[in-house]
């Protein structure tokens, strides 16, 4: 899924040259012990040279000499923040703000940290506190707007940002964020207007080009969107901006069917400056598409979400063919998927990967691999796609799927389901992860009415998480009882989910982890999606799973049209008496 630059956090940098210059200027008028001020000024010089460990030490010495010197605590917070010592930074910032509660700068810096730590109420209070002293301040307004956007409080975000623009109409940053809020709300035409105004103010703003390209792609201007992003590469001033633009070109290129360019730039997801990158711990040589792996030992890491690990496993059969009978494949996947993968690919050695946070970054390990000396090459799983899935035509036609549910459990679930009337159809309608961008990919449940009221069907819940409110809504609104299978944890018992899915006549729903599990098992499946999702690879189908029938809503946000199409198709299938069940 395409990421927005603004998903990385609020704007501003307390350690910027401009911020440190303001900090230094304020020291000329304060009263403090001479020795404390000397340490503080020395700490500022260290911060300006990006020597934040030394800046922290100098700030601590200043605070020890003058504990009420809030500037010392403020600098200490900045240094610790830059050193990814979030707990220490939080403590220092809070002490600074307690000593100087009317400081907008401290409140804004602390708010940014709280935002990154997902302390939403605290961050909101701090940004509002800052704005109480500096109404309409662009940076604090931008940050509050970004926070409200994260919580999908779009109307509030728009009001905050418009207020700031009335006072500061030349602040391109605020124009961009307002455009992003409107884009997330599905108001694409308005979003274009705001991005274009940001570019009128600064034609070389990389973030404006980046976000405008995303909207252009969403409204069908695919070539213009990709060209804009490609041309904006040289404008990137920060590593993050360049990385995210390269990744965006990759995703948009894949979505338009140009897999060569797509896989090339999709590799940006592994750059250190990517938004929330994962660093892989491996002790062998990194695989490249030019590597000859015949007869070698290759190790692959599952990457991204659980559903992605299933999706990318589309390529494993081809990788095994290339390794040959003398070669060996070892893989680390999500722990809940190990048994499903092991049954599906018995010649591969599977274990669980573990991801740990260290100094603000995610690091992924394969603890079961104690000795790397016999492993020739390693790679993240999606790297294989550039070589083994270079075009849409290279995706094999295998309607039976490429993963194997437990046949005994498939028969068990067929027996259970046989007691239910009509066709048994699995239902998926949302994801556990719904944020300011992802909500656009899922239809409101009330729009499912024509599907759910199809006669001759028993719908079976496959949706993980507590969905009791949704099930009650359907029962009261439509008079439909969705069957809840007993004795299965739909989030964690993924082997059982695969078997249950394969026992159904059909699975209908959105692309989430369970849909991928079902489709990979060969279950007949219908995917309901937004248009131009990159995984369609520029086609009108879903190449990853040949038996999947894909339905997409139109450019507008109205889901009723596509739901009517699904309902009609379902009625036709049931009318023909076609048995849709997988063979298991």
Segments making up each domain of the chain, as ranges:
1-134, 278-385, 407-576
Question: Does domain 407-576 sit in CATH 3.20.10.10?
Answer: no
In the chain, which residues have pLDDT < 70? Answer: 1-9, 359-360, 431-443, 555-557, 576-584
∠ CA 568-571-576, rounded to 5°: 130
Instruction: List 551's β-bridge partners, or say none.
Output: 528
What integer pLDDT is reported at residue 531 of this predicted model?
A: 80
Cα–Cα nearest to 57, from 69, 67, 72: 72
Superfamily in which the 1-134 domain is placed by CATH: Tetratricopeptide repeat domain (1.25.40.10)
- 8 Å CB contact between 424 and 505: yes
pTM, two decimal places: 0.85
Q: Which residues of 446-460 are buried (b: 16+ CB within 10 A; e: fewer)?
A: ebbbbbbebeebbbb
| Sheet hosting strand 423-428, strand order edge to edge | 457-461, 423-428, 506-509, 525-529, 549-552
């Amino acid at each position: 899924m395409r990421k927005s630059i603004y998903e990385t956090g609020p704007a501003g940098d307390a350690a910027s040259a401009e911020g440190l210059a303001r900090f230094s200027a304020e020291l000329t008028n304060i009263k403090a012990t001479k020795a404390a001020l000397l340490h503080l000024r020395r700490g500022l010089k260290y911060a300006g040279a990006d020597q934040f460990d030394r800046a922290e030490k100098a700030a601590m010495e200043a605070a020890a000499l003058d504990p009420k010197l809030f500037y010392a605590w403020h600098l200490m917070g900045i240094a610790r923040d830059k050193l990814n010592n979030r707990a220490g930074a939080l403590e220092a910032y809070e002490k600074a703000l307690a000593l100087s509660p009317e400081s907008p700068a401290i409140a804004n810096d602390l708010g940014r940290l709280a935002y990154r730590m997902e302390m939403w109420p605290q961050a909101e209070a701090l940004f509002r506190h800052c704005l109480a002293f500096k109404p309409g301040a662009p940076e604090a307004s931008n940050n509050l707007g970004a926070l409200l956007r994260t919580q999908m409080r779009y109307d509030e975000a728009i009001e905050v940002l418009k207020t700031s623009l009335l006072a500061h109409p030349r602040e391109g940053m605020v124009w961009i964020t307002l455009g992003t809020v409107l884009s997330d709300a599905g108001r694409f035409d308005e979003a274009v207007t705001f991005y274009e105004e940001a570019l009128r103010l600064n034609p070389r703003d990389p973030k404006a080009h980046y976000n405008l390209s995303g909207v252009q792609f969403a409204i069908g201007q695919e070539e213009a969107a990709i060209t804009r992003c490609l041309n904006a590469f040289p404008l990137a001033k920060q590593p993050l901006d360049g990385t995210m633009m390269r990744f965006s070109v990759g995703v948009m290129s894949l979505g338009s069917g140009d897999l060569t360019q797509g896989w090339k730039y999709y590799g940006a997801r592994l750059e250190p400056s990517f938004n929330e990158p994962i660093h892989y711990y491996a002790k062998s040589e990194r695989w490249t598409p030019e590597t000859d792996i015949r007869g070698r030992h290759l190790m692959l890491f599952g990457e991204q979400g659980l559903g992605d690990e299933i999706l990318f496993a589309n390529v494993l059969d081809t990788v095994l063919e290339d390794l040959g009978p003398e070669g060996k494949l070892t893989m680390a996947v999500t722990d809940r998927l190990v048994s499903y993968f092991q049954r599906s690919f018995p010649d591969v050695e599977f274990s669980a990967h573990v991801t740990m946070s260290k100094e603000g970054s995610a690091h992924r390990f394969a603890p079961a691999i104690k000795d790397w000396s016999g492993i020739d090459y390693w790679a993240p799983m999606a790297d294989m796609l550039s070589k083994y899935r270079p075009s849409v035509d290279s995706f094999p036609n295998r309607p039976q799927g490429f993963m194997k549910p437990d046949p005994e459990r498939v028969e068990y679930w067929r027996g259970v389901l046989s007691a239910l009337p009509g066709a048994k159809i699995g239902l998926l309608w949302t994801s556990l992860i719904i944020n300011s961008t992802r909500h656009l990919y899922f239809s409101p449940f009330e729009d499912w009415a024509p599907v759910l009221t199809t006669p001759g069907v028993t719908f079976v819940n496959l949706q993980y998480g507590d969905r009791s409110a949704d099930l009650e809504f359907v029962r009261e609104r439509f008079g439909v009882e969705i069957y809840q299978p007993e004795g299965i944890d739909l989030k964690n018992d993924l082997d059982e989910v695969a078997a249950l899915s394969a026992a159904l006549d059909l699975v209908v729903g959105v692309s989430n982890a369970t849909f991928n599990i079902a489709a990979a098992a060969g279950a007949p499946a219908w995917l309901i999606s937004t248009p131009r999702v990159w995984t369609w690879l520029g086609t009108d189908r879903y190449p990853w799973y040949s038996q999947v029938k894909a339905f997409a809503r139109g450019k507008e946000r109205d889901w009723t049209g596509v739901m009517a199409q699904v309902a009609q198709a379902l009625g036709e299938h049931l009318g023909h008496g076609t048995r849709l069940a997988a063979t298991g």
